[in-house]
């Protein structure tokens, strides 16, 4: 008999939790649940991530002579301003690094600082993460610094 009461309590608690989750979801949907103009992933001074797929689609639009559509596409997918969108598209068109992307020199400087402070393994991991190098290649890169 006691086990039956515990089972009922568990079922009631699970039902209450499900109702609470449902209420939150419905409230979010009714409130619009859309990102504001300042997107949550954006930090001041940091550029938005521009995927390789987006870069390829921008290149295709540029090849068709549709620069304005390319800027619009970048803005739609990242939420950036018209000025930022134009600078991203201009960088892609010119084959330059995207605004805010760390350059290889920046990577070397950061890796050199880690190595100098005695954090050689972290420097190797940094190089591997940002370049896709294997362990031996990254170690050779760090040793050459």
Cβ 39 vs Cβ 79: under 8 Å: yes
Domain boundaries, the chain: 52-94, 104-144
Question: Tens digits of per-residue pLDDT, 62-107?
Answer: 999 999 999 999 999 988 889 989 989 998 888 777 776 655 557 8
- Assigned token pair, 80: 């950036």
Burial track 2-16 (b if 16+ CB lie within 10 A, e otherwise): eeeeeeeeeeeeeee
pTM over 0.75: no
Residue 12 CA to its chain's centroid (Å): 40
Strands (E), the chain: none
The enclosing H or E element of 100 equals: none
Percent of the chain past pLDDT 70, that is, above it, reads: 81
Question: Tens digits of per-residue pLDDT, 17-39?
Answer: 999 998 988 877 777 655 444 44
């Amino acid at each position: 008999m006691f086990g039956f009461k515990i089972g009922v309590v568990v079922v009631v608690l699970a039902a209450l939790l499900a109702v609470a989750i449902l209420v939150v979801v419905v409230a979010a949907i009714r409130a619009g649940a859309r990102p504001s103009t300042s997107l949550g992933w954006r930090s001041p001074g940091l550029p938005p991530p521009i995927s390789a797929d987006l870069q390829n689609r921008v290149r295709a639009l540029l090849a068709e002579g549709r620069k304005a559509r390319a800027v619009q596409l970048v803005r739609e997918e990242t939420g950036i301003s018209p000025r930022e969108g134009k600078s991203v598209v201009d960088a892609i068109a010119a084959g330059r690094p995207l605004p805010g992307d760390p350059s290889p020199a920046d990577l070397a400087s950061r890796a050199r600082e880690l190595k100098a402070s005695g954090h050689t393994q972290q420097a190797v991991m940094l190089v591997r993460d940002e370049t896709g190098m294997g362990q031996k290649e990254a170690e050779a890169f760090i040793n050459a610094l």
